[in-house]
Amino acid sequence: MDFFDRLKAAAHDDWQSYVDHEFVRGMGDGTLPHEAFKAYLVQDYLFLIHFSRAWALAAYKARTLQDLKAAQDTLSAILNEMNLHLRLCERWGLSAEAVEAEEEHPANVAYTRYVLDCGMSGDLLDLHVALSPCVIGYAEIGKALAPNGVEALADHPYREWIGEYAGEGFQSAATAARATLDRLAQRGVSEERFTELVKIFGMASRLEAAFWQMGLDLGAQAKVA
Ligand SMILES: Cc1ncc(CN)c(N)n1
């Protein structure tokens, strides 16, 4: 069991509330309302800007060249991920400027600033634990939503999104994030410290679940308006 799997097992319910959220199930079976997906994606673009800052902070706090390069690679993967958002938004007639001018939803502020605070007030392991549900969770969700490969999802309304996270690039970013966690944890984690880290991991997972819920709520509001 690697360090990530230990965290996941210790915060099982929080993790499940994230990876098995109604939003995820709706994407999987294609029933997720388009309004919810669109509202989520616009907020997610803003989210990725702040998550990129958090990965840059991980680079700043790195004490070894290996940790510094790992942070740089994931920062690049996240900046690449934003091309998906720009592509989809462009199709909906939304420019990058228009998306960037959108106001951040409180659920977005809560999650991104929580992670940044973990990095500012804690050490590098605190920060990587807070960051881990993001990269590793989306890789897990992408794989789960494409059990027979992305080619099998030919007419699926969310094929492009699923393909991004089930794809090789994102999967290898998640593998690297797991390896970084293992490397940092090998430097020593007492039982007491592990309990603290599980709290961070559980909170980050719940904030991920709240982010999906934000998408559903904004989508429902857009339908009514
Ligand atoms: C909210 C959220 N969490 C995770 C990811 C994957 N980078 C994302 N795009 N958005």
3-26+33-224: in CATH 1.10.760.10: no
Residue 29 has a pLDDT of 96
Beta-carbon contacts of 198 under 8 Å, excluding residues fewer than 6 positions away, are 7, 10, 11
- Pocket lining for ligand 1, CB < 6 angstroms: 44, 47-48, 78, 81, 134-135, 138, 208, 211
> Is 208 designated active site?
yes
* Tens-place pLDDT, residues 96-133: 999 999 999 999 999 999 999 999 999 999 999 999 99
Place of tokens 């400027």: 97
Distance 48 CA to ligand 1 centre (A): 7
Q: Which residue has the higher pLDDT, 41 or 150?
A: 41
- Ligand 1: nearest atom to the Cα of 211: 1
Domain ranges of the chain: 3-26+33-224
- DSSP 3-state of 92: coil
Residue nearest to atom 2 of ligand 1 (CA): 134
Confidence band, pLDDT 50/70/90 cuts, at residue 187: confident
Q: Which amino acid is at 214?
A: M
Percentage with pLDDT > 70 across the chain: 100
Q: What number is the ipTM of this complex? A: 0.99
Alpha carbon distance 177, 174 (integer Å): 5
Q: What pLDDT is recorded for position 224?
A: 80
Please answer whether residues 174 and 136 qualify as being in contact, where contact means their C-beta atoms are separated by less than 8 angstroms.
Answer: yes
Q: Which pTM does this prediction carry?
A: 0.96
Query: How many angstroms is it from 205 CA to the middle of ligand 1?
Result: 11
How large a percentage of the chain has pLDDT more than 90? 94
CA of 135 to the centre of ligand 1 (A): 7
Using CA atoms, how far apart are residues 112 and 135, in angstroms rounded to an integer? 14
| 137 CA closest ligand 1 atom index | 4
Q: Name the active-site residue from 35, 89, 134, 140.
A: 134
User: b or e along 77-97 (b: 16 or more beta carbons within 10 Å of the residue's beta carbon)?
Assistant: bbeebbebbeebbeeeebeee
Q: Summarize pLDDT for 188-213 with one digit per residue, the tens.
A: 899 999 999 999 999 999 999 999 99
Q: What is the pLDDT of residues 8-38, one digit of tens each?
A: 999 999 999 999 999 999 999 999 999 999 9
